Amino acid sequence: MTQEDGQTLPLLDSSVLDRLHLELDSDEGVWRVFIQDFIAHLPARMERLRMALTTGDVVTAKDAALSLKTSSQMVGAERLAGLALDVERSLRFDPTEGDPFVVLPRIATTHLMGIRSCAQQTTYLLKKHLLQSPGRV
């Protein structure tokens, strides 16, 4: 995934993580819970997208891609958000151009392996960030 200027998007934007820490800082470590929740829900978000694409469910696929993109942006997972945006863009096809039961599985073939790999790398880096941050639980 690249930005419009041709640069590769970072796996994580540390400024987003820093802002999360500042905005959600509390004795209870709310920012940690926020990141842990993202990690915990990521497999279900990806599975929902996979199922929608492979079964030709356009409405659910659009919603699942948006959910993955938005949640990724909230924790600074820029590359994963970019990949989800690519899926969203692919889903903006004219239904008269092809059968969704054919088009969506092709989108799945094109995008899901990269999303899965990126999600694994992102999860690793987020867990590492949690371990290295002061006040870990």
AA identity, residue 64 = A
pLDDT tens digit string along 58-96? 999 999 999 999 999 999 999 999 999 999 999 997 666
Distance CA 67, CA 61 (A): 10
Q: At the top level of CATH, which class does the domain 14-131 belong to?
A: mainly alpha
Whether the pLDDT of residue 6 is over 60: the answer is no
Q: In which residue are the tokens 């970019």 written?
A: 82
CB atoms within 10 A of CB 83: 25
In sign, the C-alpha dihedral spanning 70, 73, 77, 83 is: positive
Q: Where are the domains of the chain?
A: 14-131
Percent of the chain's residues with pLDDT above 90: 72
Q: Evaluate whether 1 touches 83 at the Cβ level (below 8 Å).
A: yes
